[in-house]
Amino acid sequence: MPVILVEDDVILRTVPVILDPETPPERQAAIADYFSVDIPDFEAWRAGLRARHPNLFPARVRLIGSQDAFRAALPEADGVAIQGLEVGPAELAIAPRLRIVQKFGTDLRNIDDAACARRGIAVRALRRRVNIAVAEHAFAMMLALAKRLPELDRRIDLESLREAGFEPRMYDRRHSASANWARVPGMKTLHGATLGALGLGEIGREVASRARAFGMTVVYFQRNRMPAAIEAESGARHVDFDTLLRGSDFISVQLPSNASTNGMIDAGAFARMKRDAILVNISRAPIIDRGALLDALTARRIGGVGLDVHYEEPAAADEPLKGFANVLLTPHTAVAGRQNGTADMEELVGNLAAAIG
User: Out of 13, 128, 137, 284, which one is annotated catalytic?
Assistant: 284
Cross-strand partners of 111: 87
Closest among 71, 46, 62 to 6, alpha carbons compared:
62
191 classed as catalytic: no
* Separation between Cα atoms, residue 227 and residue 176, nearest integer Å: 51
Q: Is the peptide bond before 168 cis (omega within 30 degrees of 0)?
A: no
CA dist 341 and 128 (Å) reads 8
Question: Which position among 118, 162, 169, 332 bears the catalytic label?
Answer: 332
148 is catalytic: no
CB 303 within 8 A of CB 329: no
- First-to-last alpha carbon distance for the chain, in angstroms, is 12
Give which of 336, 275, 279, 270 is closest to 307, Cα–Cα: 279
Closest C-alpha to 147, from 330, 333, 306, 309: 306
Rounded to an integer, what is the distance from CA 72 to the centroid of its chain?
Answer: 31
Cis status, amide bond into 286, omega within 30 of 0: no
- Give Cβ neighbours of residue 8 (< 8 Å, ≥ 6 apart): 63, 64, 65
Q: Sheet containing 278-281: give its strands across.
A: 236-238, 217-221, 194-198, 250-253, 278-281, 304-307, 327-329
284 is a catalytic site residue: yes
Distance CA 322, CA 294 (A): 11
- Which residues on neighbouring strands pair with residue 64, listed in sequence order? 7
Rounded CA gap, 216 and 65, in Å?
A: 39
Rounded Cα–Cα distance for residues 305 and 219 (Å): 19
* Active-site choice (151, 313, 319, 347): 313
Q: Are 231 and 237 in contact (CB under 8 A)?
A: yes
User: Cβ neighbours of residue 140 under 8 Å, at least 6 residues apart?
Assistant: none
Catalytically active residues, by annotation: 284, 313, 332
